[in-house]
Structure 1
C-alpha cells in the first residue's frame, strides 16, 4: 500500500478546485502518455484533450470515465475526477462488513483457508489485515501484544522491532522491498494516512549487522524471499499479491490478497508437518 518518498508527488497535486483539467493532465503525465496517444486510445482528438486539460472544454461524464480508464486511474481517484468535473461519484464505497459483500468475504475466507498450510492474508489500502489463515497466525509467535491489537497492520507487524523484524534473516533486503512497495502505492493514491504510515515504519530502527557473522551462502531464488526464523528453523517464502479484476466498488478495488509461497523444499516439508 515514499515520504512522497522517491520524489513522487500525488497526481492530483493540482488542486481539485481548479477543475478536472489539471487533474487529468497530472495523471496523463504520470503515465507518460502524450495528448495524441491518449486521444487515440479514447477515440477523441488531441485538440479536445488539450481543451479539457486547460479548462476550455468541460468533458462529459462518459469522457471523464473513459479517460480515467485509459490512464489506469484508481477507482477512488476516478470518483475524485468526476467530482472535480461537477458530476456525482460513479463508484460506491461499501463497508466491508456490509451484507452486500457477504459473498465476497466468504469467498476470500475460503480462498485463504484453502491455501493452508501456507500463509495467506487479505489487506486493504492501508495494509490493515482484513483476514488471515492459520499459516499467518503461526508466524506471529513472539510478536508483542500491542502489535496484535486491531486493526492489525501488516507493515507494523513485519518491520517493528517487537514484531517479526528480529526474526527476519534478510531484514534489510525485505524492508527495502516493502518500503519500495509503499512508495509505489503513495505514488498511486493521494493518501496522507498512507504517507504517515510509511514515515512511521521507515523510521523503525534496523539492527546493525554483527561484524562476526559470516555472510550467508547465496541461494538461487527466482524472486526475493522473506527468510524468517521459526522455532530454530529458517523458513523461506516468496510473496505474491492478487487484486480484483475490473472492480466497481472502491472498497473492493483496494483489497489485496497476499500469499506466501514456500521458496524451498525444507519450508514445504516443515509447514505440512505443522498442520499434520
Structure 2
C-alpha cells in the first residue's frame, strides 16, 4: 500500500476460487474514520480484474480502512477482511481563518477575534494560529507577529500601537508543513492626544496685539480640527479657539492692554480630545504712546 495526501494505491490477492466464472472487476469499500461502522462505507468499482487500484479523491490527514469485493457474472463475493488503518499524508492548510471582530478600543490597541478553524481545513496536526500586524503606511517596517498554540484561544489584543494609524492584520493557521492562506483586515486605532504644536513663536508685538505662528504637532495622533490659545495676565484668563487644519498657522491676539505681561500657551484639538499645551511664552506688550 502506498499513498499520498489525496490517494492510496491498494493491491490484493484474488480469491482462491472463481467457481468457473472469471472475475470481471472489483468493488473497493472505503471507510473513513478510526471508529466508524462499516455500514457507512462508500464504494468505488475498478474497470477490470487487475489486482491493484489507485483510490482517488481522499481527504488529507484522514484515517481510512478498505475492503475488497470480487465480482463476476454470477455476482459478488463476501468482502475481504478490512485493511489495517492508514492515514493519508499531510498538506498545507487550505482554510482561511474567519475573523469575526477587529476594532480599536483605545488609541494604542486593537482587539481581534476569530472563529475556530475546522480540522478538515488544517490537513495536519494543529500547531497554532499566527497573527501578523504592521502599520499600513510603512512598507519597510517589519511585521510583528504572535503565535498562539492553544486551539481554544481565538482572540488577541495587540498593544503598544500608534494612535490614529491604520494597521494591516493577518491571521493564518499552522500545521507541521507550514502556514495556510492568510485572512487580512485593516483597522485604524482610535485618535489619541496630539503632541504640542511645533515651533510656537512670536512674530510681532504692539501695544494691543501679539501675533503668533506655529506648525502642526509632530505627532497629531488624530485629525487636527483646530487649536486653543490660552492667554492670561494675573488672574484674568482668556481662551480663543481657532478652527483650522493647516500645517502652518498664524494668529493675531488683539484688544490687549499696553505694557502688560501675558502668558500664552497653544494646544491642538481633535474632534474629541485636546492635546498637550505648549511651553508658555511670557510676552510684554509695548508701552502706550503719550496722551
Higher strand share: 2
TM-score band (shorter)? under 0.3
Larger radius of gyration: 2
TM-score, with length taken from structure 1: 0.20
Higher helix share: 1
Which structure exhibits the higher relative contact order, with contacts defined as CA atoms closer than 8 Å and separated by 6 or more residues? 1
